[in-house]
Amino acid sequence: MPSTVLLLEVPSYDREVLFPALERAMELLPAELAPHAPLLLKPNLLVPATPESAVCTHPAIVAATIEALRDRGFDRLAAGDSPAVHPVAAVARTAGIGEILEKLEVPLVSFADPVAVDNPGARLFRSIPLARSVVERGNLVNLARLKTHGFTRYSGACKNLFGCVPGTTKASLHLRYHRQETFAWMIADLVRYLEPPISVVDGIVAMEGRGPRNGRPRRGNFLLASRDPVAADAVACRLVGIDPRNVLHLRFAAAAGIGRIEPEDIEVLGDDPATLAVPDFEHAPEPPEIGGMLPTFLVPLARRLFHPRAAVDPGLCTRCGDCITICPSGAMLKTAAGLPRPKPRFCIGCRCCEEVCPADAVRIEGPVLSLARRKRSEA
Ligand code: SF4
Ligand code: SF4
C-alpha cells in the first residue's frame, strides 16, 4: 500500500486558513488511538529565534494543532523539545510558543533526562538514549519546519525527531556518528523506533540557503501531513527542488522499509504538487565530496586535506560562547580575548557550531580555505 501524504495550500498563518488545514491533518491520526490517549507535541525549538526568522516551528501551527486535537477529544496534551544550548522554556518564549502553551494550558515538559531504549530492528542505533518524557508519553505529534541543513541538506519531519534525544546526549551522538552516512542511519533508526502517528511539515514559510539557523525565510504557502514522516519529507523535498534520494537519512529510511520516498509509492491527497512547487529555492551549500574521481590510495590524504572544518569570522562574532558550549569534540576553544578558535585537529566537521551561531559567524570549510581565511583575518 502506498503512503498517504496530505498536501494543502495554506497562504498564511491566520487562524481562518490554518485551523481547517490542521483539522484535516489531524484526521490522519490512526483510529486506534483512543481520544484520551496522551499526545506529546514535538515542535522544532532549535535556538531562541523569533517566528519571523523561520528557525523554529511557527507558534500558530502549535496553537491550531492543539485546537484541532482538543476538538477530536484529545485532552491529555503536552509539548517539549531539547534545544541545542539554551533552556527549552527560554527558546519557547522567544519562538512565541511559550505564550501559546501557557494560554492553552498545555504543559511544556523537559527532555533533559535520558533513558536507554532498545531498538532491535535498527541498523546502527540499537540502544537509543531518549528523553524520559518521550518514552513515557509515547505518541508524538511531530511539528516540523521545512528548512535547508548544512549537514543533512534538508531538515523536516525526520530530522525534527533528533530533538527527542536530550541535549547533552545529542552532543555525544554527534561525536560518535559524525560521518554523514552514520548520522543518517542514526536518524533513520530513530524514525523506526519513534514512529510518530502524525507528522506535519510547515512549508508556509520555509528556510532556504544557510539553514537550519542562518538561512532566509522563503514563502512556500503549503503544509504537509502524513503518518509516514519519510514520505512527508520526500514530497516536501521535491516541492523545493531537492531530490530526496540525495538526503541520506531519507534514502536509508526508504531502503530499510521505514518509509517511502519514490513518487509511485506515495499517494498525494489535497492540492496539486505541480501548482505548489517553489521555483529557485536556494539549497544549503553542498557538503564537500571527499574522494570522487580520486584513486583509492589518495582518499585518506584527501580526507585529511579537505575534511570540512569550522572557521570563525571575528568581525561577526559576538562572543556569546554558544559554539563553544555545543561543540561535541571540544574543538572550539576560547582565546584570552573571548573569541572562539576552532582547533582543526579536533574538529569533526559536524556543523553544530554553525547551526547554533546567532551571528552567522561560523563557516565550515576545507582546511586550505580555513588557513586562507585565518591569514586574511590576521592581516
Ligand atoms: S562564533 Fe557565533 S556562536 Fe560562536 S561565540 Fe561567536 S557569535 Fe557566538
Ligand atoms: S568546531 Fe564546530 S564543526 Fe568542528 S567539531 Fe566543533 S561544533 Fe563540530
Q: Considering its fold, how many domains does the chain have in total?
A: 2
Number of other residues whose CB lies within 10 A of the CB of residue 216: 14
* Together in a domain, 117 and 174: yes
Q: State whether the beta carbon of 361 lies less than 6 angstroms from ligand 2.
A: no
- Supply the mean pLDDT for the chain: 92
Residue 302, pLDDT score: 65
| Residue 342: strand pairing partners | 332
| Range scoring the smallest mean pLDDT among 1-15, 23-37, 226-240 | 23-37
In a domain, 93, yes or no: yes
**Distance, CA of 294 to CA of 300 (rounded, Å):** 10
Q: What is the pLDDT of residue 230?
A: 98
Question: Which has the closest alpha carbon to 123: 242, 249, 10, 302?
Answer: 249
| CA 96 to centroid of ligand 1, rounded, Å | 24
What is the Å distance from ligand 2's center to 333 Cα? 10
Q: Does residue 153 lie in a domain region?
A: yes
Q: Whose CA is nearest to atom 2 of ligand 2?
A: 353
pLDDT tens readout for residues 137-189? 889 999 999 999 999 999 999 999 999 999 878 888 988 888 889 999 999 99
Q: What is the pLDDT of residues 335-353, one digit of tens each?
A: 999 999 999 888 888 899 9
CB of 349 closer than 6 angstroms to any ligand 2 atom: yes
Instruction: Write the pLDDT tens digit of every residue in 241-286.
Output: 999 999 999 999 999 999 999 999 999 999 999 999 999 999 998 7
Q: Answer yes or no: is 62 within a domain.
A: yes
Q: What is the CATH number of the domain that holds 180?
A: 3.40.50
If you count them, how many residues does the chain have? Answer: 379
- 305: pLDDT strictly greater than 90: no
Residue 283 within a domain = no
Q: Are residues 187 and 71 in the same domain?
A: yes
Residue 119 pLDDT: 95
Say if residue 271 is in the same domain as residue 351. Answer: no
DSSP H or E segment with residue 106: none
- Residue ranges making up the domain that contains 303: 296-378
CA of 320: how far to CAs of 150, 311, 339, in Å?
A: 21, 16, 9
Ligand 2 neighbour 348 (Cβ under 6 A): yes
Which of 54, 27, 44 is CA-nearest to residue 79?
Answer: 44
Q: Does residue 252 lie in a domain region? A: yes
The 3 state secondary structure assigned to 337-358 is: CCCEEECCCCCCCCCHHHHHCC
> For 182-209, what is the mean pLDDT?
97
Do 106 and 18 fall within a single domain?
A: yes
Distance 364 CA to ligand 1 centre (A): 13
**pLDDT confidence tier of residue 110, bands split at 50, 70 and 90:** confident
pTM over 0.85: yes
> Taking a C-beta distance cutoff of 8 angstroms, is the pair 227, 4 a contact?
yes
The answer to whether position 333 is within a domain reads yes
Closest ligand 1 atom to Cα of 362: 1
For 38-48, the pLDDT digits (tens) are 999 999 999 99
Residue type, 233: D
Q: What residue ranges line ligand 1, CB within 6 angstroms?
A: 312, 317-323, 340, 356-359, 361-362
* Residue with CA nearest ligand 1 atom 8: 320
**Is 53 touching ligand 2 by the criterion CB < 6 Å?**
no
Q: Which of 241-255, 285-299, 354-368 has the lowest mean pLDDT?
A: 285-299
Segment 209-233, tens digit of pLDDT:
999 999 999 999 999 999 999 999 9
Cis, peptide link before residue 2, omega less than 30° from 0 = no
